[in-house]
Amino acid sequence: MYRGVVSVRKVSVLAANLPRGSAVGVRLGGGSAVTEEVEAAWLVENALYRIAHGQAGGKGKAPEMRDYPLGVLEMAKKQDYAVSRAEAFRRKHHASN
């Protein structure tokens, strides 16, 4: 792209059509982070859990599907949030002592 061999449009089309489960998809998270095979296995797993739940009397909360993995940005946001909450907790309890 920088040498003018490939256009910006071509690079954007290639990036937009990367397969599910690619390194970029894993980094972004969500549905693009897992392959279709993995998602199909999750559906089978969930169906088996629901059958077992029903045969056990169906009491309690029914099993839910797995969540898609978080991307790097979401994980960083969660980490930053946890760190800021911990710092606020330390300041609050350190100031009261």
Place of tokens 């991307």: 71
- pTM for the whole thing? 0.65
Of residues 97 and 51, more confidence is placed in 51
Give the pLDDT confidence of 52-97 residue by residue, as tens digits.
999 999 889 999 999 999 988 888 888 888 888 888 888 888 865 5
- Assign 90 to helix, strand or coil: helix
- Lowest-confidence region among 6-10, 30-34, 37-41, 92-96: 92-96
State the first-to-last Cα distance of the chain, in angstroms, to the nearest integer: 60
